[in-house]
Copies of this chain bind each other. A is one copy, B any other.
Amino acid sequence: MKLPKFEPNEAILFGETADIYFARTIDILRNEGLNPVATMEVFSSRAGILCGMEEVKSLLTNVLPEGNREVWALDEGEAMSEKEVVLRITAPYQSYGLYETAIDGILAHCSGWATAARECVEAARGIPVISFGVRHVHPLVVGVMDYAAIIGGCAGCSSIAGAKLAGIEPSGTMPHALIIIMGDTVTATIAFDKYMPPEVPRVSLVDTFKDEAEESLRVAQALGDKLDSVRLDTPSERGGVTADLVKEVRARLDLAGFKQVKIFVSGDIDPERISYFIESEALVDGFGVGSYISGAKPVDFTADLHEVEGKPIAKRGRIPGITPNPRLKRVM
C-alpha cells in the first residue's frame, strides 16, 4: 500500500490543540532568550503496532528548521515493544516544544486502532477482516481511524474518508434501514442489484424479518449466480450469531445448490469471537469488526528530554542521555 500525504491543519500548527503549558513554556523561553538544541525521545507504554508516524513526520517537516534537525523513527505499521523509543528529535527546542501534545496524541490514537485491528487479523488466520466501526467514533477522526485499521491489517473499511486515506475502495453491504423501508429483504436485495454498479459485490443482509436460514435461501433463489454473500448480524436479543447458525446456513445453502454464496458475519466481533468461529469449524468468509477496533484504548506515548546542548540530562525516573535503539531509522 502506498502511504498517503498528510497535511497538518491550522489548529494544530497554531497550538490550539496543545496543552496550554507548552504554549506558556515557549513564551517563557523566548522571553529568556533560551533556545537550546534539545533531544526529545518518545516511547510507547505497551507493545503494539505503530501508526500515525507519517502524520507526525508531515508535522515535523513543517516546523523543524531544515539545517538544524535530526529525526530518527520507526516506520508506519511496524511492531513495537513495550517502552520502546519510536521517535527521537534533535533540534532547537522552540521549534517543536509546542507540538509534544500533538505528536503523542496522533501516535496514541492511531496506534491504539492499528493494534486492535492487528489482533483481529491475527485471530482470523487469513479470513478477511473489514473495519465496520465508524459509528463509534467522532466523525472528525473517522478517516484516520479507518486508515489505522488498514495499517493494522484490515482488508477493507466502511467509510469513504478512511478508504480515501488508505487508497482503497470502501466496503459495504446493506443496512437494516434499507430493508425496513422497502419492507422485505428480497425486494431490497433486488433493488440493490438493479441500481448498484456491477463492481459492487451483492451482499444481502438476511436477519431483518425472517429466519436467517429461510431468508438466505430466498435471496439466493431471487438473485441466483449474482449473489456474492449473505451477511449474518443476528442481534444479541436473538442469541447473536452462533457457529452452529453459520454451519446450518452453509449446509442449507449447499443442499439447495448455492455453494458459491459466501457467508459474512458481523455484530460484537472481537478476536475471541473470531477464534470461537474458527475453532468451531464454522466456515465464515469474512468478519465485520466494529467497536473492538474503533473503540480501542489508545496506546499511551510519553515524550522526554534526554539531552540539552549535547549534554545528557533527564528528570528523576529516567536515564539521562540517548536511549540506544538500533531499529530506528533516520528520516530527516
Contacts and interface: CB of A to CB of B under 8 A. Distances in A.
Nearest to A290: B300
Interface in A101-157: 101-102, 104-106, 108-110, 112, 132, 134-144
Contacts of A161: 11, 16-17
Interface residues of A, number: 117
A134 B316 contact: no
A175 interface: yes
Stoichiometry, as copies per complex, reads: 6
Interface of A is mostly: helix
Interface in A1-36: 9, 11-12, 15-25, 27-29, 31-32, 34, 36
B319 A248 contact: yes
A244 interface: yes
Contacts of A304: 176
Interface stretch (A64-72, A73-81, A202-210, A257-265): A202-210
A248 B318 contact: yes
A34 to B, nearest CB: 6
Given A21-B178, A25-B181, 9 more contacts: A18-B159, A24-B200, A28-B192, A109-B137, A140-B141, A181-B305, A211-B211, A238-B238, A239-B239
Contacts of A175: 19, 21-22, 25, 100
